[in-house]
Amino acid sequence: MVTAAGKALARYALRCTALVGLSALLLAAPARWGAWALSALSPHLAVVSSVALRSVGLMAACSVPMIVLTAWRRRWFCRYLCPVGLIAETCGRAGLLRKLEYAKLPPVGQWLALASLGGAIVGWPLFLWLDPLSIFSGAAGALGGPLTVAGAVPAVGLAGVVALSFVAPGLWCARLCPLGGTQELLAGLKQRIARAGRPEGGSRQTGARLARRSVLCAGAGAACALAIPRLFRASPPKLRPPGAAEEMRFKALCVRCGNCRRACPSGIIHRDLGGEASSFLTPVVRFPPERPGQRYCLETCHNCIQSCPTGALERLTLEQKNRRPIGLAVVDVSECLVTADKTCAICVDVCPREAISLAFCEETYTNTVRIDPSRCNGCGACVVVCPVDVVTITAL
Amino acid sequence: MSGPSRREFLRTVGLGAAGVALGVGAAGRPRRARAEPIHLAGKIIEAAPIRRGGPARLAGGKVIQPQHEVAVIRETDVLVVGGGPAGVIAALAARRAGVEVTLVERYGCFGGLWTGGLVLIVLATHSRSGGKLTKCVRGIGDEMLERLVKVNNGIMNQAPGRSNPTSDPEATKYVMDEMLREAGVQILLHSWATNAIMDGSAVGGVVFESKSGPKAVRAKVVVDATGDGDVFGAAGAEHVRHVHRIGLVHRLGNVDRIDRAKAKAAGKRVPSLGSATPIPSVRWVNMQGPSADCLDVEALSRCEMDARRAIWRKVTALQAIPGCEQVYLLETAAQLGVRISRTLKGTCEMTLADAKAGRAYEDVVGVGGGYGLTWEKACQIPYGSMVPVRVDNLLAAGRCVSADNRMMNYTRLIAPCFLFGQAAGAAAALAVNDKCRPRDVDVPKLQKLLKKQGAYLG
């Protein structure tokens, strides 16, 4: 017979292993593995993004075992695997304050999950980015990169959870975490199904109340999701990684996990640290000013798409990705070497899409670089190769 | 040529022709071999006759060229056709490898587009990685650039830490002349190769047109450094034709006398004036120009005149800007800026995709420097890019080597042309010495020879 202390030790060991294992996976393995791991571990991410995308991909299907497990054993994930939970708990213990009793507080995590689901139904999931696994993935990304202030910013989510744990130990896990809330909801759903047919007036009343509340939450989420894009519409378009959904939808679907940034061999995907709050930490594309180096969106690569856990970057094939524009190349011909009759026209040859040509004008007897917008996918090869930096990619 | 040797030459030609006359005489009308009189001041002396088998004839409204025997004026081991950067260096490489070399050039000077075309910048000499500059173009090409350093205002940017030098065209012509003389290369200037001489599927020499009439040079191996691939085109070797932009380069003088303050005061902007040259008061101005078939003589004629008019308009407009009055058109290039016309179908085609991937070749015979097109990467040159698929005893060198329609914008640069030249010259000499076809040349031996000649193979 296993003692309670032995059980607790085994559970602790498993959680530590999960923390180390997931960190190693996110830091060392190809970024697309991270995407599969995130999807498989978090039913919250998998279900809500599937609803938002109106499709269930293979990646989302991977979450089925975890859904079954958490429905079968209440908060199984929290108790045995969650790395953020382990960190929060450890910090809570180290803190000066006693663990409080939160049972009387409302289940905010469940509300968040329901609101996200409601938002997802109208196409705009609200709180995906609060998922503990995306928070953890973001922090792992900060650890993997060079240690700078800007590099540490993606760890802000985890830092928030840690700070909260010191002030109010256990509050995040018990009441706020949307993944915890999702697990509660799943377990509740299973219970309800098990009890169905058994006439027990009291619980049926509670059940009806719960159902009403769930519908209310989801409805509020949907209403917010419908309202918010209208409030933010004015923001200027940004250069997003290939396959990105429409801007508002993208910002909602993106969980800020940083996988795509890690996956990009050209290093052209950066975190948006600009002033716009709704876009904070989402991936944006920027081409490096320095030469040489093939640092553009390579025609041989769609790693970012493969590493997106939620479908914020649509799961395009390589060929589809190459046809899907990131933006459009624009040449400032007034400073272009070709217009000045100097030795160049390199962009014409390096363009992988054969979108650049020279147009000759009899009148001036000079050539001008022309971009064919029907062919240009904004990959930026011309931007990187231009010796006088007169090409830019503009968002569509 | 001095007096006695001319006489000797005439005698040889006379005897040869007499022999032919005897042979032909039995079948048809006899031919007379006779020196022509030529006036020298008050005297009349003998000169070599100019034979082209009589005039062309009209037959049924068609112009028929006479069928006639072409005099072979030289038999050589290696014949290099075209005296541009590739041809000159091919001739030097072959000669230094110990074989007899004849170099035939259509204009009156060497250097091709580098000098006559006024394309003065030698691009792709170095590769750059991580801020470190590596000199790729070594060997005879670099030796030539180094010799230009010794000429006053001969070259700029040819120094440690610098790359892609710009040379002075006259200095370059002179240095090339001297190097060819020193090596002992037989020279034929003002000789325009018009046809290949075939012996089965192998090239046995070239017929060229000259003021002396059509002449032939026979050779064991021919290097086609014509740029246009005129020899392999005539020999029936498989090749690709391209339409590309044709420009006309010009040089501006007195650019150091531009008073920019005066222009600014007048509210005018001085336009871009091309690129610097080793002479401080002179700049060279490239031209992109219209796209045309560079083997179409009508197109070439049109391009030449339209381009010159465009240049004059530009220069006149420039001179009208306050402060720019003293700038003048020093010259337009003697040679039209043909970028590409024919490329060979070689046993190995160089492609931009391979260059981008940094492909390594077993038969590497040179390493070109970095250029925007190759993402600044050094670029290996395979021997196969110069060997025709079928025709034998022929190698291509220079811009007409085997390359796809993007990579040709790299292989046509001057520095890579140096490398093609040296490799083709060395390979031709090796084929002669080893009595084998160029395609059967022992590649490790060729690489050893190239390294001995100072080449860098990575």
Distance of alpha carbon A368 from alpha carbon A336, whole angstroms: 8
**Domain total of chain B:** 3
- Alpha-carbon distance of B145 to B175, in angstroms, equals 9
The Cα of A89 is separated from the nearest Cα of chain B by a number of Å equal to 46
Q: Which residues of A touch B128 (CB under 8 A)?
A: 292
**What pLDDT, on the 0 to 100 scale, is given for residue B82?**
98
Q: B166 and B84, same structural domain?
A: yes
The shortest CB-CB distance from A360 to any of B271, B290, B352 is to: B290
CB A356, CB A378: distance < 8 Å: no
Does B66 fall in a domain?
no
Size of interface A-B (CB pairs under 8 A): 69
B272 in the same domain as B318: yes
User: Is there a contact between A292 and B375 if contact means CB atoms under 8 Å apart?
Assistant: yes
Calculate mean pLDDT across residues B332-339: 97
The CA distance from B202 to the nearest CA of chain A, in Å, is 35
Under 8 Å between Cβ of A367 and B245: yes
Among B275, B305, B337, give the residue marking a domain's end.
Answer: B337
Instruction: Choose the most confident range, by mean pLDDT, from A78-87, A286-295, B9-18, B255-264.
Output: B255-264
Contacts of B418 (CB under 8 A, 6+ apart): B85, B86, B89, B122, B137, B139, B140, B141, B142, B144
Residues B379 and B443 in one domain: yes
**Which of the residue ranges A224-233, A247-256, B199-208, B226-235 would you say has the lowest mean pLDDT?**
A224-233
d(CA A223, CA A188) in angstroms, rounded, equals 25
Mean pLDDT score, A264-278: 85
Residue B23 clears pLDDT 70, i.e. is over it: no
Please, which pLDDT band fits residue B115 given cuts at 50, 70 and 90? very high
Helix (H) or strand (E) holding B119: none
Q: Which of A292, A341, A385 sits opposite B286 (nearest CB)?
A: A341
Please, are residues A367 and A336 in contact by the beta-carbon 8 Å criterion?
Answer: no
Helices and strands: H and E segment counts in chain B: 11, 26
Beta strands in B335-456 (DSSP E): 337-338, 342-344, 364-368, 379-382, 394-396
B1, B10, B186, B189, B208 from B5: Cα distances, Å: 7, 8, 15, 18, 22
Question: Is residue B16 predicted with pLDDT exceeding 60?
Answer: no
Residue B356 lies in a domain: yes
Q: Are residues B400 and B422 in the same domain?
A: yes
The ipTM (two decimal places) reads 0.85
Nearest-CA neighbor of B296 among B234, B243, B232?
A: B243
Average of per-residue pLDDT values in chain B: 93
Domain residue ranges in chain A: 10-232, 326-396
Q: For chain B, say whether A187 makes contact (Cβ under 8 Å).
A: no
In a domain, B111, yes or no: yes
Minimum-distance CB partner of A349 among B285, B286, B406: B406
B6 and B114: one domain? Answer: no
Please check whether residue B408 touches A, CB under 8 A: no
CA angle (A41, A42, A47) in 5-degree steps: 130
Tell me whether residues B375 and A362 touch, CB distance under 8 A. no
Which pLDDT band holds residue B33 (cuts at 50, 70, 90)?
low
In degrees, rounded to 5, the angle at the alpha carbon of residue A222 between the alpha carbons of residues A217 and A224 is 95
pLDDT at residue B14 in the model: 46
Task: Note whether A350 contacts B373, CB cutoff 8 Å.
Answer: yes
Same domain? For B227 and B251 the reply is no
What integer is the mean pLDDT of B210-226?
A: 97
How is residue A204 written in tokens?
């049926």
What percentage of residues in chain A have a pLDDT greater than 90?
Answer: 29
- Considering only CB atoms, which chain B residues are within 8 Å of A341? 247, 272, 274, 285-288
Report the 10 Å Cβ neighbour count for B159. Answer: 10
Residue B320 near residue B263, CB atoms below 8 Å: no
Give A226-267 as a DSSP string.
HHHHHHHTTSPP----TTBPPHHHHHHH-----HHHHH-TT-
User: Cα–Cα distance between B247 and B259 in angstroms, integer?
Assistant: 29
Does the pLDDT of residue A374 top 90, yes or no? yes
Rounded average pLDDT over A247-262: 86
Residues in chain B: 458
**A292-314 mean pLDDT:** 90
For residue B6, what pLDDT band results from cuts at 50, 70 and 90?
A: low
**Residue of B458, B390, B455, B380 whose CA lies nearest to B423:** B455
A291 at B interface, C-beta within 8 A: yes
Q: For chain A, say whether B114 makes contact (Cβ under 8 Å).
A: no
- Please check whether residue B307 touches A, CB under 8 A: yes
B403 plus B344 within the same structural domain: yes
B199 in a structural domain:
yes
Residue B300 pLDDT > 70: yes
Reply yes or no on whether the pLDDT at B22 is more than 50.
no
Instruction: Give the gap in angstroms from C-alpha A316 to the nearest C-alpha of chain B.
Output: 24
Kindly tell me if the per-residue pLDDT of A134 is higher than 60. yes
Q: Does B86 touch chain A (CB under 8 A)?
A: no
Quote the CA–CA distance of B353 and A300 in Å, as a whole number: 12
**What's the average model confidence in pLDDT over A178-192?**
86
Distances (CA, A) of B326 to B253, B254, B278: 8, 6, 20
Same domain? B302 vs B374: no
Distance of residue B126 Cα from the nearest chain A Cα, in angstroms: 13
Q: Is the pLDDT of residue B25 over 50?
A: no
A111-115, B215-219, B281-285: segment of lowest average pLDDT: A111-115
B307/A294 CB distance under 8 A: no
pLDDT for res B15:
47
Under the banding of pLDDT at 50, 70 and 90, the label for residue B137 is very high
Max CA distance (Å), chain B: 86
pLDDT (mean) for A374-385: 95
B37 and B139 together in one domain: no
B56: in domain: no
CB contact at 8 A, B415 and B125:
yes
Q: Report CB contact under 8 Å: B373, A346.
A: yes
A336 chain-B contacts, CB cut-off 8 A: none
Instruction: Say whether pLDDT at A135 is over 50.
Output: yes
| pLDDT score for A145 | 66
Domain check: are B228 and B359 in the same one?
yes
Q: Kindly state whether residue B360 falls inside one of the protein's structural domains.
A: yes
Residue A92 pLDDT > 70: yes
Token couple for B458: 């990575």
In angstroms, what separates the C-alpha of A26 from chain B's closest C-alpha?
29
The whole-number average pLDDT for the span A170-194 is 86
Contact B115, B173 (CB under 8 A): yes
Which residue in the block uniquely carries the two structure tokens 């800020």? A256
Q: What is A326-396's CATH number, 3.40.50.920, 3.30.70.20, 3.40.50.1220, 3.40.50.11900?
A: 3.30.70.20
Q: According to the model, what pLDDT value does residue B5 have? A: 54
Amino acid A207: pLDDT: 66
Q: How far apart are CA A123 and CA A89, in angstroms?
A: 34
- Predicted model pTM: 0.85
Mutation target for B interface from A350, A358, A379: give the one with most B CBs within 10 A: A350
Question: Distances in Å between the alpha carbon of A171 and those of A18, A174, A177, A254?
Answer: 22, 5, 9, 25
Got the DSSP string for B56-110?
-EEETTEEEPPP-PPEEEEEEEEEEE--SHHHHHHHHHHHHTT--EEEE-SSSSS
- What percent of chain A shows pLDDT beyond 70? 91
The span from the first CA to the last CA of chain A, in angstroms, equals 65
Q: What is the mean pLDDT of chain A?
A: 85
Q: Using CB atoms within 10 Å of the CB of residue A262, give its burial: 0 to 12 exposed, 13 to 18 middle, 19+ buried.
A: buried
Looking at residue B8, its pLDDT comes to 53
Closest Cα of chain A to B261: distance in Å?
21
B440 secondary structure, DSSP code: G
Q: What is the mean pLDDT of residues A132-141?
A: 85
The alpha carbon torsion through B273, B276, B277, B278 (nearest 10 deg) reads 140
- The pLDDT of residue B3 is 47
Least confident range of A180-189, A337-346, A383-392: A180-189
Q: In angstroms, rounded to a whole number, what is the distance separating the alpha carbons of residues A132 and A111?
A: 16
Residue B271 sits in the same domain as residue B140: no
Tally of CB atoms within 10 A around B235: 26
3-state class of A179 per DSSP?
helix
CB contact under 8 A, A345 and B375: no
pLDDT for residue A156 is more than 90: no
Q: Determine whether A156 is exposed, middle or buried from the number of CB atoms within 10 Å of its CB (0-12, 13-18, 19+).
A: middle
Q: Is B284 on the interface with A (CB under 8 A)?
A: no
Q: Please count the other Cβ atoms lying within 10 Å of the Cβ belonging to residue B341.
A: 24
CATH of the domain at B355: 3.50.50.60
In the predicted model, what is the mean pLDDT of residues B143-159?
97
Higher confidence at residue B170 or residue B19? Answer: B170
A342 interface with B at CB cutoff 8 Å:
yes
What would the pLDDT profile of B430-441 be if each residue is shown by its tens digit? 999 999 999 999
Domain housing B311: 246-337
> Is B65 domain-assigned?
no
B102-128: average pLDDT: 97
Report the gap between the CA of B21 and the closest CA in chain A (Å): 56
